[in-house]
Amino acid sequence: MRHVYSWLLAVLWLGIVQAQEPNDHIFPEAAIASRYIHFDSKGFFIHGRRTFLVSAGIEYARVPRGLWEDRLLRLQRAGFNCVEVYVFWNFHEPAGGKFEFGGDKDLGEFLRLVARMGMYAIVRVGPYDCA
């Protein structure tokens, strides 16, 4: 019986491997964006240079604005060149139709700081955040 299970697993594995094709261009590039960022089967090109993104997450909404630079610097010194950021919907819209983006909630300034530090950002926007 064990031989039958091994054979079945081997057949399933071969079927999965053969069904996979290169994933290049699954999402076609927008012509305007391709000058800045595009990808191939091996990774990303940013401004024409192959770039390996090493990312870590920071929830800027849970860090006081005065500590953003310190936390990003710690990531940078640990070898990260990219930060993943969830945008908490209820943090910026505490009441329906009332939006707040100042002070500790200044997402734009957080992203400008990331850019000034020579880092990249992956911004996850949506009504839900699921880690």
pLDDT 10s digits, 77-102: 999 999 999 888 888 788 888 988 89
**Number of folded domains in the chain?**
1
Burial of 81 (0-12, 13-18, 19+ CB in 10 A): middle
* 18 falls within a domain: no
Indicate whether 56 pLDDT > 90.
yes
Which of residues 39 and 51 earns the better pLDDT score?
51
For residues 86-95, one letter each, b for 16 or more C-beta atoms within 10 angstroms of the residue's C-beta and e for the rest, the string is bbbeebeeee
The Cα 85–Cα 58 span in angstroms is 6
Is residue 36 within 8 A of residue 81, CB to CB? The reply is no
Residue range(s) defining the domain that contains residue 116: 53-126
Report yes or no on whether pTM surpasses 0.75: no
* 108 falls within a domain: yes
Burial of 62 (0-12, 13-18, 19+ CB in 10 A): exposed
Is residue 63 within 8 A of residue 71, CB to CB? The reply is yes
| Pairing status of strand 43-46 against strand 49-51 | antiparallel
| Pairing status of strand 120-126 against strand 37-40 | unpaired
Average pLDDT score over residue span 55-71:
94
Is residue 38 within 8 A of residue 45, CB to CB? The reply is yes
Tokens in use for 52? 């390996």
